Amino acid sequence: MAGRHTIILMQPSQNRATRTFLDFDSVNHALDGICGLYERKIRNINPMVRNLTYDISDLYNFIDGLTDISALVFDDSLHAFLPYDRQWIKQKLFQHLKRLAQQ
């Protein structure tokens, strides 16, 4: 699943005008992109902090704070995008970050 074209659909606030999407070449790149969004947010809040640190619960709180987030992952066998919800994204983030920590 790591190499599949992935689109992240998100709505950060209740305002429907905040709906947006992020397009990635793979699930792993999409997961890195979500982490990057969170890191940019905490950099904006704490601009003087040089080294950012956070744990998975901080990342989960960020995701849960979004009005909506989901993923569309391309399935070659179906030639279609399959939808995945917030819980799937959180599960994949945990697995992804765990794998990165072990390297």
CATH number, residue 53: 3.30.2260.10
What pTM was estimated for this model as a whole?
0.91
Average of per-residue pLDDT values in the chain:
94
pLDDT per residue over 33-70, tens digit each? 999 999 999 999 998 888 888 999 999 999 999 999 99
85 inside domain? yes
The pLDDT value recorded for residue 1 is 64
Does residue 1 fall inside a structural domain? no
Q: How many domains in the chain?
A: 1
DSSP state of 14: S
- Name residue 68's beta-bridge partners: 11
Domain, as residue range, for 49: 6-102
Is pLDDT above 70 for 78? yes
**Once rounded to an integer, what is the mean pLDDT over residues 1-6?**
82
Is the dihedral angle over the CA atoms 98, 96, 65, 52 positive or is it negative? positive
CA gap 7, 21 in Å, rounded: 7
